[in-house]
Chains A and B, each alone.
Chain A
Amino acid sequence: MKFDTPAGTNPIDRMKVVGQPHERVEGPLKTTGTAAYAYEHQQYPGAPVYGYVVGAAIAKGRIDSIDRTAAQHMPGVLAIVTAQDLGALGFGPLGKGDKNTANLLGGPDIEHYHQAVAIVVAESFEQARAAANAVHVAYTRGQGRFDLAQEKPNAKALTGSDADTATGDFETAFAAAPVQIDQTYTTPDQNHAMMEPFATIAWWEGDALSLWTSNQMIAWNREDLATTLSLPLEKVRIMSPYVGGGFGGKLFLRSDAVMASLGAKAVGRPVKLALPRPFIMNNATHRPATIQRIRLGATRDGKLVAIGHQSWSGDLPGGGPEVATQQTKLLYAGANRMTAMRLAELDLPEGNAMRAPGEAPGLMALEIAVDEMAEKLKMDPVAFRVLNDTQVDPEKPTRPFSQRNLVRCLKEGAEHFGWHRRLATPAQVREGRWLVGMGVAAAFRNNINIASAARVRLNDQGIVTVETDMTDIGTGSYTIIAQTAAEMMGVGIDRVVVRLGDSAFPVSSGSGGQFGANSSTSGVYAACVKLREAVAQRLGYDPERAEFADGLVRADNRSATLAEAAQAGELVAEGRIEWGNLSKQFQQSTFGAHFVEAAVDSFTGEIRVRRMLAVCAAGRILNPRTARSQMIGAMTMGVGGALMEELAVDKRFGFFVNHDLAGYEVPVHADIPHQEVHFIDEADATVSPMKAKGVGELGLAGVGAAVANAVYNATGVRVRDYPITLDKHLAGLPTLT
């Protein structure tokens, strides 16, 4: 099904199942511990053995020698596999998937700290771990580049969608603007810190490789594993039915899958492998740090006339930038504008997508700058944003937004939050020892559609089974897909079975970029359209006139149950949604406004968020319950990003020092106050037959700045370097008397 004209009325518009706050269909499995995650599956031939990865002890350089004598004689050890052993196992040099930057098995060259250099396989986990510690690797340390600020002058311009943009004459307009902001902001490297670690069980049957693993994108994972091991695609099967969080960290093939596959080849048995937490932070990907310069020029009455956003980030050679300027092209009106990203080469671990890549750090900076401009103009920050709203693409004014309710989000949010109580002058509100402030920021994330396919089966019991390689990374995919199929086939959600995360199923959008909900359900919609035709045909009804409701198919005064339609045999239909160029005609985006109240201890500078509100406009909300869960999770992540999350770089040795969950702090329950989420009632017919967009990343975009602006309003000390820890504003707090 090609979606190339805006959707008309369709069965989803009935909203009998879709749009309802259904509980997660797989919830009972998860709350009873019976939903098997990657490391827990038991379906494979034979008893498993255990793998443990040895990581590089240096960030850059070469392996001189690997002494495995002690390790290979330790109890239970079955195999040790390094890059030197690939030939003996029947592999050539490993390939590299096109979404990986560094090699997933290092040696002799080392590209980053904790790059995998060996897997030890043993009968027990403890034996594998002990032997891995006894593999002695000698290195020659090379010269690495680990300091973004130092490498900034060497950073290079980019091409394609990351190239510089310019509209009007920014420099002249900025220079002439009567009110200016010119500030530099920094955001640190961050880790996804998902609950479930990277984990895989791999086994070989002849030349065919199967994996239970934890991954957001089954097809990407399959392709990149096949490429890495030089296997035909059809010889690789990937299964990832439940994922305990990914946040972009599990978009890609990672070392757990490759190393477990190599280990399994070496021992001829299934190998279980989970990456230990202290290893993940440097072995896997992270959100790269940024340095951002923002220049805003405005007229005295508050109209933006010049918007300039530059961002510097770093990555390993061949990697990509953190696309922090992306949203600045579209968020506010202004005739003269420029964005520019520069990419430095760094020898730190591999940077890549983390939830709201680009938007999160970009809006953390831009939405402070906007707050600073509003203050300079003596305007309310909500009113300033409303004044500078645009309903068209500012770089291409003939191209409208398909729907843009940012102003409504801001106004309704302000009303509901009690924004009028905020004092414009900071550091004026005290409650005992606490300084109290309020902040606001816009949330903004573009809609992306990805082709997505599904298979739908109808059996003689009237049960509808959906099969797609879509993943549920904790987001609620099972539930919204069940709701979609139920709505389309006119049955209750209890008549639908959803099977996900298996490369044997049709290729879906996968989970990422906020595209999963809309794209994957649209694929299910397409498959259900075909199944409806097959049902009508089987019953001898006119497919054009058949109606599906209440478990029945009706047409021309005839009716039959769905089960009756499948009496002569199961009906199976496969469908795929593909996307036309509506996204070129219209700028399709999601919007929101985040409001935060924060308190700062006037003695110690400790920051506590007190209240949070998000108002969102994101098209049709497929399930308000799971959407709200995504929002509050993202808002929690936003508090982490604002106040504590930072991979601390050792700039001498080139690694993230705080590489466990004791050192890399994310919010605990005590950090998270009352969170409220409102969705504006919308349906965007230009985006898909579902008329939905997504909220998973919108919920994070802007939160950091809303917290930062609230902290500033409390203290009067503007911190432009995230995370906003107490040491950064302590000296500016009111003097103690």
Chain B
Amino acid sequence: MRAFTYERARSPLAAAAAVAGKRGARFIAGGTNLLDLMKLEIETPTHLVDVQDIGLDRIEPTDGGGLRIGTLVTNTALAADPRVRRDYGVLTRAIVAGASGQLRNKATVGGNLLQRTRCPYFYDTNQACNKRKPGSGCAAIGGVNRLLGVIGTSDACIATNPGDMAVALRLLDASVETVDGQGKTRTMPIAEFHRLPGDTPHVETALQPGELITAVTLPRPLGGRHLYHKVRDRASYAFAIVSVAAVIQPDGSGRAAFGGVAPRPWRVEAAEAAMRDGAAAVAAQVFAGARPTHENAFKVPLAERTLAGVMAEARAENRA
């Protein structure tokens, strides 16, 4: 870990201004990912702006009938909120499928959206990684990559976004609200928040330097069955090999988004027209253009089978 300076901001604007005004500065909230990366010197901020005292830790209804979730709401609080459990069950299910109770107590909504890939080559500073060190190459391509991406990847990077919560937010068409160092606010759809790697895999989000996530908003509830199935090699405390978030209506229509397969939560809205035709019809469109490796080609049929299981579960719940 490199030496760094530290301050606690008192307001969102002060925090954004503090980071915008200092090269190498970073926000810190729960720190569940950033601190690990600092210990390994994968992240080497020179200055940390702690945002834990800036408020933004409440969940409130919006005028549009949805919810605004402050950026500092913990994963635990968000998953346990009665409104979320009732109207956005897929979000609760996705969150509790991730990490451990201890980590969820610390992890925040904004921080969780920014968690970085778990690609093992990103974590080993002896290895080439375009995301960690732009231009150094990608050791994961041609290496051990069973858990890495099958779609949306590039020749520069095949890492996945490791999140669970983000997959549910993508499914729910959440929006991300931000403020920058000048106090300018903006709102962007979650679909535009995470970037595909292309030639610049180190650029992971649409955030500008110093831009702070202030809230995530959810539109009106969708109704239907809310399901999240996370497939992994052990029963808990592992990142997804494949995950499926779905909201399925009684007539079989609905939405599906996929985790563990791509550099961002993966959802193809056009494919959802085929939801009533079954998982194969959906998956064929969602994974059109997939470019898996020899080791992770199984993820494509696995994603389809996982969706089929989710659809079957929704049907079973409807019958019950």
Contacts and interface: CB of A to CB of B under 8 A. Distances in A.
Interface of A: 57-58, 75, 126, 129-130, 133, 278, 433, 601, 603-606, 608, 643-644, 648-650, 652-653, 657-660, 662-663, 665, 667-671, 723, 725-727, 730-731, 736
Most buried by A among B1, B234, B305, B306: B234
Given A650-B144, A660-B123, A662-B118, A730 B234 contact: no
Most chain B beta-carbon contacts within 10 A, residue among A604, A723, A731:
A604
B234 A668 contact: yes
A110 to B, nearest CB: 12
Contacts of A731: 298, 301
Interface string B34-55: 0000011100000000000000
A604 B309 contact: yes
A601 B309 contact: yes
Nearest to A650: B143
A604 B231 contact: yes
B102 interface: no
B142 interface: yes
Contacts of A670: 234-236
A601 B312 CA distance: 13
A603 B233 contact: no
Contacts of B231: 604, 606, 726
B146 interface: yes
Contact of A671 (B126, B234, B305): B234
A648 B144 contact: yes
Interface of B: 1-3, 39-41, 118, 120-121, 123-124, 126-127, 139, 142-144, 146, 229, 231-239, 241-242, 279, 298, 301-302, 305-306, 308-309, 312-313
A667 B232 CA distance: 12
A707 to B, nearest CB: 13
Contacts of A606: 231-232
A252 B66 CA distance: 61
Nearest to B235: A670
B305 A649 contact: no
Contact of A657 (B144, B236, B301, B306): B144
Given A667-B234, A668-B237, A129 B39 contact: yes
A652 B2 contact: no
A126 B1 contact: yes
B302 A730 contact: yes
Contacts of B235: 608, 668, 670-671
Nearest to B298: A727
A605 B302 contact: yes
8 contacts: A58-B126, A433-B309, A604-B309, A643-B234, A652-B143, A668-B237, A727-B298, A736-B305
Given A75-B3, A608-B235, A668-B234, 11 more contacts: A58-B126, A130-B2, A603-B308, A644-B233, A649-B144, A653-B143, A657-B124, A665-B233, A667-B234, A668-B235, A725-B233
Contacts of B120: 648, 657-659, 663
Given A133-B41, A604-B309, A731-B301, A278 B123 contact: yes
Contacts of B143: 650, 652-653, 657
Given A433-B309, A603-B306, A668-B235, A657 B121 contact: yes
A667 B233 CA distance: 9
Nearest to B237: A668
A680 to B, nearest CB: 32
Nearest to A114: B126
A727 B299 CA distance: 8
Contacts of A723: 233
Given A604-B306, A657-B143, A658-B144, A129 B233 contact: no
A658 B295 CA distance: 15
A604 B302 contact: yes
Contact of B312 (A603, A644, A650, A726): A603
A726 B302 contact: yes
Contacts of B298: 726-727, 730-731
Nearest to B142: A652
Contacts of A658: 120, 144
Nearest to A58: B126
Contacts of B229: 604
B30 to A, nearest CB: 17
Contacts of A648: 120, 144, 146
B147 to A, nearest CB: 9
